[in-house]
């Protein structure tokens, strides 16, 4: 663990072009001094101040910053100074930005082992990290004390703390931050407490342990948001848990799915978030338009024969809602749409089709799903046997843990699939999407196959 009184390290998140959130956590109530500087030695101080923890967390939103530049920050309490963190602001709105490099992380079960993926990530030259959920894995106990214990346990990883100290994070949850496969308020808490109480406890602990701009109000917390990297890229970060309809006929593999699954009123995002997303696609003038969310958007039929079997916890359980997104992309033609996903503990590269009922229909977007940081996979064989029935899947690999690096210019998007083998990180494959041409193509390179 990091030395007292900052055992959970430091972090920053939710940067804007003129501000960023700084975070740390100290045991018990305290007055904490913070500093932000242009240099790591803090000779060129930009801003400083004092805050009181609430109850142990420190969240400082630093405003009036210059766009598109790096800063250094640190905290002091009781005469002890924290490690130095590094953060940055986004480019100014409308800036003619030409390059972006970031990472995608998800699914970091503590039981899955150490975090060499974060160790490698912290060595990379990145602008930020997007975490797409399953930051912790819940237990049956839904108390606030238990959720706080879990977040502190996960932050005991030096590799995770290093990644947080080096880059700003955008974070959103999936299910395990609250309860496996939860949907709105439809799932009972295994410890018998009201689910609303469990959700409020999970949200509060999540806020206390991450650099979030806003705080929950009980069991309600809108965290979907949008940010822009100048004119180069626009990101819509979704919440596909808090507002969704309950899974149809349960959340496992159903063969075939019931008629309720195809109800056009069913939603993964809730009506307000869906309208916000589709309107953003209509209005965007960005060069790359990114939907960063939790589960695989592409259809995947687990039955290799003539019947159908879907994972109804993913977008396959909400096909009408998925089609509304696809139809909006076709209708509004936002430039270069890219879907990012986590959740399924495996690397995927998928073509998003205009109509998944017609395999010959147009490719309208590319999807990259990153494998888990550490969480294991029990469905690899089921996916592999069904791959021939899903030709829009360009790559699948469930063997390795790891993460995803995305390198973006005006001319192309490159996704590098990083995998962990014996605690070393290797490149599994590199895929590229050319400007104006939906569909990812694998690049030929000497390092695309791990040893």
pLDDT in tens, 20-67: 999 999 998 999 999 999 999 999 999 999 999 878 999 999 999 999
Report the pLDDT averaged over residues 102-129.
Answer: 96
Phi, psi of 166, rounded to the nearest 5 degrees:
-95, -30
Q: What is the pLDDT of residue 451?
A: 47
Q: Which residue has the tokens 């009036």?
A: 64
C-alpha 389/C-alpha 373 separation (Å) is 28
**Sign (positive or negative) of CA dihedral 206, 209, 215, 217:** positive
SS3 218: coil
In this prediction, residue 250 has a pLDDT band, given cuts at 50, 70 and 90, of low
Q: Which pLDDT tens digit goes with each residue over 300-323?
A: 999 999 999 999 999 999 999 999
CA distances (Å), 305 to each of 301, 390, 405, in order?
9, 11, 35
Instruction: Give the C-alpha separation, 409 to 327, whole Å.
Output: 26
Predicted local distance difference test score (pLDDT) of residue 187: 82
Instruction: Tell me whether the omega of the peptide bond preceding residue 256 falls within 30 degrees of 0, making it cis.
Output: yes
pLDDT of residue 448: 43
Only one residue has tokens 């060129």, namely 44
CB neighbour class for 75 (10 Å; exposed up to 12, middle 13-18, buried from 19): buried
CB environment 78-111: b (16+ within 10 A), e (fewer): eeeebebbebbbbbeeebebeebbbbbbbbbbbe
Residue range 182-231, pLDDT digits in tens: 998 878 899 999 999 999 999 999 999 999 999 999 888 999 999 999 99
Check whether 444 has a pLDDT greater than 80: no
Q: How far apart are CA 298 and CA 392, in angstroms?
A: 8
H/E run at residue 381: helix 380-386
Considering only CA atoms, give the Rg of the chain. Answer: 21
Range in 1-15, 68-82, 256-270, 301-315 with the lowest mean pLDDT:
1-15
DSSP annotation string for 271-312: HHHHHHHHHHHHH---SEEEEE-SS--S-----SSSS--EET
CB 2 within 8 A of CB 8: yes
pLDDT at 388: 96
pTM of the complete model = 0.97
Which neighbouring-strand residues pair with 446? none
Q: What is the rounded end-to-end Cα distance, in angstroms, of the chain?
A: 33
- Full DSSP string of 45-109: EEEEEEEE-SSSEEEEEE-SPPSS-EEEEEEEETTEEPPPEEEEPPPPTT----EEEEEEE----
């Amino acid at each position: 663990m990091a030395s007292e009184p900052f055992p959970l390290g430091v972090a920053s998140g939710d940067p804007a072009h003129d501000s960023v959130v700084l975070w740390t956590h100290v045991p018990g109530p305290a007055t904490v001094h913070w500093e932000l500087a242009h240099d790591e030695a803090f000779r060129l101080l930009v801003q400083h101040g004092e805050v009181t923890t609430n109850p142990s967390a420190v969240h400082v939103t630093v405003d009036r910053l210059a766009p598109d530049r790096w800063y250094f920050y640190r905290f002091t309490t009781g005469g002890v100074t924290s490690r130095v963190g590094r953060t940055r602001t986004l480019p100014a709105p409308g800036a003619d930005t030409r390059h972006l490099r970031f990472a995608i992380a998800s699914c970091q079960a503590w039981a899955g082992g150490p975090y060499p993926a974060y160790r490698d990530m912290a060595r990379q030259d990145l602008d930020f990290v997007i975490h797409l959920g399953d930051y912790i894995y819940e237990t049956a106990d839904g108390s606030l004390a238990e959720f706080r214990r879990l977040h502190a346990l996960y932050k005991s990883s030096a590799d995770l703390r290093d990644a947080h100290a080096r880059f700003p994070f955008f974070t959103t949850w999936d299910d395990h931050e609250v309860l496996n496969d939860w949907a709105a308020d439809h799932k009972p808490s295994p410890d018998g407490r009201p689910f609303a109480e469990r959700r409020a406890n999970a949200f509060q602990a999540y806020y206390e342990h991450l650099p979030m701009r806003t705080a929950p109000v009980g069991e309600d917390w809108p965290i979907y948001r949008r940010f822009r990297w100048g004119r180069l890229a626009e990101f819509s970060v979704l919440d596909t848990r808090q507002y969704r309809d309950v899974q149809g006929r349960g959340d496992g593999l159903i063969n075939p799915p019931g008629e309720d699954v195809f109800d056009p009123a069913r939603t993964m995002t809730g009506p307000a978030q869906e309208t916000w997303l589709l309107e953003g696609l209509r209005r965007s003038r960005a060069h790359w338009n990114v939907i960063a969310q939790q589960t695989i958007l592409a259809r995947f039929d687990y039955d290799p024969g003539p019947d159908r079997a879907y994972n109804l916890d993913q977008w396959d359980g909400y096909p009408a809602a998925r089609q509304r997104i696809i139809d909006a992309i076709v209708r509004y033609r936002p430039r270069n749409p890219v879907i990012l996903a986590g959740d399924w503990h495996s690397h995927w590269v998928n073509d998003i089709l205009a109509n998944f009922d017609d395999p010959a229909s147009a490719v309208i977007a590319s999807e990259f799903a990153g494998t888990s940081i550490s969480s294991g996979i029990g469905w690899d064989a089921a996916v592999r046997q069904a791959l021939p029935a899903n030709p829009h899947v360009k790559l699948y690999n469930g063997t390795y843990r790891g993460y995803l690096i995305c390198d973006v210019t005006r001319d192309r998007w490159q996704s590098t699939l990083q995998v962990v083998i014996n605690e070393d990180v290797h490149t599994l494959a590199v895929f590229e999407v050319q400007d104006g041409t939906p569909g990812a193509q694998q690049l030929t390179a000497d390092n695309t196959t791990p040893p």
